[in-house]
């Protein structure tokens, strides 16, 4: 029933390479990202505490290594050799265990934050109006929830921990080195830029590649969503386009392959460079430090400790050098996530919770006009219509007349651009969406069923429905006998979108689902598909039960519905051009007479 016009999701399909060029640090965005950790404050503080402990413990082995050499080996004191060696082992084991604990806590917090983001995105997407879904590819939205959140995993679970850890390691290590010998410390730090500068450059390359990979993953996800579903697969097979779609998939797939290979090889020269300097650095220290040892300025153990401290500096400094790159990468990812979360739903809850049991069902359209977002043409123009409680109103008109739009305004899938729609004299915008929609039953032209059992699909309308209630609803919908003949009965799986059922069976299941909910108002878009005579008879009998005693607004395609209607509303180009009973409208001539001759007079009624 839905229509959609307009542009889509703004930057949702923007080339991420262009996005990367303009990325900058956003303090407000950073505060929001850090704020996501607030619910896990104590666990986060525990993680920081463990980082402090492990960083301090990590500084001790080089110190004790000095004592192993100077006191144990050079001093030929066996007990000191055993003692300091044991200390190094104990500290290494204890630090390793604490690191495992710290890693567990940081991942616990990180995964919880990512789960929160996925849930927030999922909920917020479903708060959007109907046109949001008609103007955006479902695969692109899936990519935001799955791929983009997954891409910030490293940022959430590792980057913050890494920053704290590396800053502490560098600070404590440099402080200890300066306390031992400032000349060797300066020599050690002079080598550091040879690690830091190329690391930053490679980091920027990997940042750009990561963004391009995210774009390609979004494209791939969108294609998979469209072509693996039953509807897409059916279309592909009907037009024999499997080969074409496979080629299209392969192009995107190969793009991702190539980008990921580039990303994996982005640091190939860097690693060679780092390997070279990881040998040059200790060599310089041993050379200069050895000269100081010969002169009696330093002990041999101190020089060896300095080499150990130097190795301890390389990794943290290289990671800190990439901090700016990592932060900007995360900014782009967070911006894409918050782009969705900051999108304000156009259909907001009203303040009043409607009691569905108190609904009489009188609906009124008061000078209603409506245009779909992004469209200059009006879908409805100055529609005024009063539907008495308990009456059956049939909407008829050519394609594009505004019938589906009229139906969509009642459950507030859209709000009028002008005028208002009322229920029992109250503007629909006064009610909460959940309470309003709980009073309405919708049977679309193409019913949707989840890939689950019939019982689960039926209970979607009423989760606490008993088996007896389900059976009663299905009997009224003329579908119980068909279900009873299935091998698994109500536990039979219907397949994706209900493709294991015929068109008539799906419609009757949809009717049973609405009957189970027992709403006061029924919105119905009658099927136009040519069903067999038996299915037509069953559906008509089911509709009699469904519409009995309820306010019903029906887009009519069957002559029987038109004849039974308390009022027929004739629509054309968004206007109500006539309203009345069948005989009156037929006698008046005009559009209704033409519609009757073209659509209804030749219809086979059973």
Write the CB contacts of 8 (distance below 8 Å, at least 6 apart in sequence).
135, 136
In the chain the first and final C-alpha atoms are separated, in Å, by: 26
Structural domains of the chain in order of their starting residue, each with its CATH number: 10-341 (1.20.1560.10), 356-600 (3.40.50.300)
Task: Quote the pLDDT of residue 324.
Answer: 64
Report helix, strand and coil shares of the chain as percent, to nearest 5: 65, 10, 25
State the Cα angle at 442 between 396 and 379, rounded to 5°.
Answer: 45
Nearest by Cα to 253 from 289, 206, 219:
219
Query: Residue 396's beta-bridge partner residues?
Result: 570
Q: Long-range pairs for 78-84 at CB < 8 Å and ≥24 separation?
A: none
CB atoms within 10 A of CB 408: 21
Low-confidence ranges of the chain (pLDDT < 70): 1-25, 154, 156-158, 192, 194-207, 229-231, 233-235, 237-239, 263-278, 321-326, 328-329, 527-536, 600-606
Going by the DSSP 8-state scheme, the letter that residue 597 receives in this structure is I
How many angstroms separate the CA atoms of 179 and 181, rounded? Answer: 6
Nearest by Cα to 443 from 414, 412, 478, 407:
407
Task: Quote the pLDDT of residue 576.
Answer: 93
- Predicted TM-score (pTM) of the model is 0.73
Task: Quote the pLDDT of residue 415.
Answer: 92
| Secondary structure of 370-428 in HEC code, one letter for each residue | ECCCCCCCCCEEEEEEEECCCCEEEEECCCCCCHHHHHHHCCCCCCCCEEEEEECCEEH
How many angstroms separate the CA atoms of 513 and 516, rounded? Answer: 5
Task: Quote the pLDDT of residue 423.
Answer: 94
């Amino acid at each position: 029933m839905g229509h959609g016009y307009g542009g889509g999701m703004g930057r949702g399909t923007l080339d991420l390479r262009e996005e990367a060029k303009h990325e900058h640090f956003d303090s407000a965005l950073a505060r929001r990202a850090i704020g996501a950790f607030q619910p896990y404050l104590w666990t986060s503080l525990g993680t920081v505490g463990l980082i402090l402990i492990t960083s301090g413990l990590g500084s001790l082995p080089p110190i004790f290594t000095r004592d192993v050499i100077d006191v144990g080996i050079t001093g030929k004191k066996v007990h000191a050799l055993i003692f300091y060696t044991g200390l190094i082992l104990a500290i290494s084991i204890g630090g390793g265990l604490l690191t495992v604990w710290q890693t567990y806590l940081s991942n616990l917090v990180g995964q919880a934050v990512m789960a929160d983001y996925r849930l927030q995105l999922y909920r917020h997407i479903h708060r959007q109006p109907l046109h949001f879904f008609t103007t955006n590819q479902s695969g692109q939205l899936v990519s935001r929830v799955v791929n983009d959140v997954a891409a910030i995993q490293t940022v959430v679970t590792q980057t913050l921990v890494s920053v704290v850890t590396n800053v502490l390691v560098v600070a404590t290590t440099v402080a200890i080195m300066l306390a031992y010998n400032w000349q060797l410390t300066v020599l050690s730090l002079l080598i550091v830029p040879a690690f830091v500068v190329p690391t930053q450059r490679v980091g920027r390359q990997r940042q750009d590649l990561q963004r391009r990979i995210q774009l390609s993953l979004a494209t791939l996800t969108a294609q998979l969503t469209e072509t693996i579903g039953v509807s897409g697969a059916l279309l592909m097979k009907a037009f024999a386009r499997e080969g074409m779609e496979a080629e299209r998939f392969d192009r995107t797939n190969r793009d991702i392959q190539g980008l990921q290979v580039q990303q994996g090889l982005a640091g190939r020269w860097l690693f060679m460079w780092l390997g070279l300097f990881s040998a040059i650095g200790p060599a310089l220290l041993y050379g200069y430090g050895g000269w100081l040892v010969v002169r009696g300025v330093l002990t041999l153990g101190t020089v060896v400790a300095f080499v150990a401290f130097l190795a301890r500096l390389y990794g943290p400094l290289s990671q800190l050098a990439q901090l700016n790159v990592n932060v900007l990468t995360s900014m782009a990812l967070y911006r894409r996530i918050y782009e969705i979360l900051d999108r304000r739903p156009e259909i907001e809850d009203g303040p009043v919770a409607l009691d569905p049991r108190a609904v009489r069902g009188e609906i009124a359209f008061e000078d209603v006009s409506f245009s779909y977002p992004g469209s200059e043409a009006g879908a409805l123009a100055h529609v005024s219509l009063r539907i008495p409680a308990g009456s059956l109103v049939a909407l008829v008109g050519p394609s594009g007349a505004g019938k589906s739009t009229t139906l969509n305004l009642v459950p507030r899938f859209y709000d009028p651009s002008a005028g208002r729609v009322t229920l029992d004299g109250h503007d629909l915008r006064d009610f909460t969406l959940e309470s309003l929609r709980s009073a309405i039953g919708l049977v679309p032209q193409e019913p949707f069923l989840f890939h689950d059992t019939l019982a689960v699909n039926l209970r979607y309308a009423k989760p606490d429905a008993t088996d007896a209630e389900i059976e009663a609803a299905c009997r009224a919908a003329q579908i119980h006998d068909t279900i009873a003949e299935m091998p698994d009965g109500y536990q039979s799986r219907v397949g994706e979108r209900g493709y294991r059922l015929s068109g008539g069976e799906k419609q009757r299941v949809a009717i049973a689902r609405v009957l189970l909910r027992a709403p006061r108002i029924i919105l119905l878009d009658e099927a136009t598909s040519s069903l067999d005579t038996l299915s037509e008879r069953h559906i008509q009998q089911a509709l009699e039960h469904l519409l009995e005693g309820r306010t019903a607004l029906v887009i009519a395609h069957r002559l029987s519905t038109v004849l039974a209607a308390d009022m027929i509303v004739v629509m054309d180009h968004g206007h109500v051009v006539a309203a009345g009973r069948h005989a009156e409208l037929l006698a008046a001539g005009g559009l209704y007479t033409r519609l009757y001759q073209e659509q209804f007079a030749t219809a086979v009624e059973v």
